[in-house]
Amino acid sequence: MNNSETIYTRRMKVADLIASDGSLLSILQRLDIKLGFGEATVAEICKKYNISAELFLIICNIYSFRDYVPQIDTLSENDIQSITNYLRASHRYYTTTCFPGIHDCVHNLVKEIDDVSRRLIDKFYDDYDNEVTNHFRYEEEIVFPYIESLTAKDKGDNGKYNIGQFGQNHSNINEKLNDLKNIVIKYLSEEYSSPLRFELLNRIYNVENDLRKHSLIENKLLIPLVEKMEKSHE
């Protein structure tokens, strides 16, 4: 998609934006924007919550338009903290809402299936759970503190670290989730609970899509902005 084709603007009412794509409600939740904003525009809400309207619109476009390619030209170092805050909020959203729902579905499904299938699904889910936990921990304990030290112009103990190391080691946490999805779709016998399987798959597809957006924000917004900041501080 050509970025000029997107429909969201600073003058648009936030209520109209949500009406155009209900999935954007999760963005408001992660940015801690409260409902009940009446006829307020994007610019007015962003000013109230001290969020860059440009960043807010970029995030909305990422979630609404599959082929949207974000540009950082309109963003600055001041937006980096808002991006890391958003990513942290996304981690909480995944770990307190999305993954518990998937876990419950897996738990209920494996009670109905044979031992071989149960062990296979349990292993894939446990491996995924460990991988995503380690992925988020690395970001929370290494990447974000490093970025915050840069914004404070104090590298401290992270002097030898740079954001390029994050980019090079940025694992795709969707791969094992895709493996689990394929097992449920292709290899479980058709005799096992269809409602549970469809519920599990719907949850997997939803979080898989959200994680792609999450990675896009990291790769196309956070990393380039931090690289620019690193160069300016050299």
pTM summary value: 0.88
**pLDDT tens across 133-190, in order?**
889 999 999 999 999 988 877 655 555 788 988 877 666 777 778 888 888 898 888 8
- Identify the weakest region by mean pLDDT among 20-24, 138-142, 168-172, 212-216: 168-172
Beta carbons of 213 and 62 less than 8 angstroms apart = yes
Which DSSP string do the residues of 72-99 spell out, in sequence order?
-TT--GGGHHHHHHHHHHHHHHIIIIIH
Could you tell me the two tokens for 123?
């292993």
Domain boundaries, the chain: 3-64, 77-233
Q: What does the pLDDT average to over 103-120?
A: 86
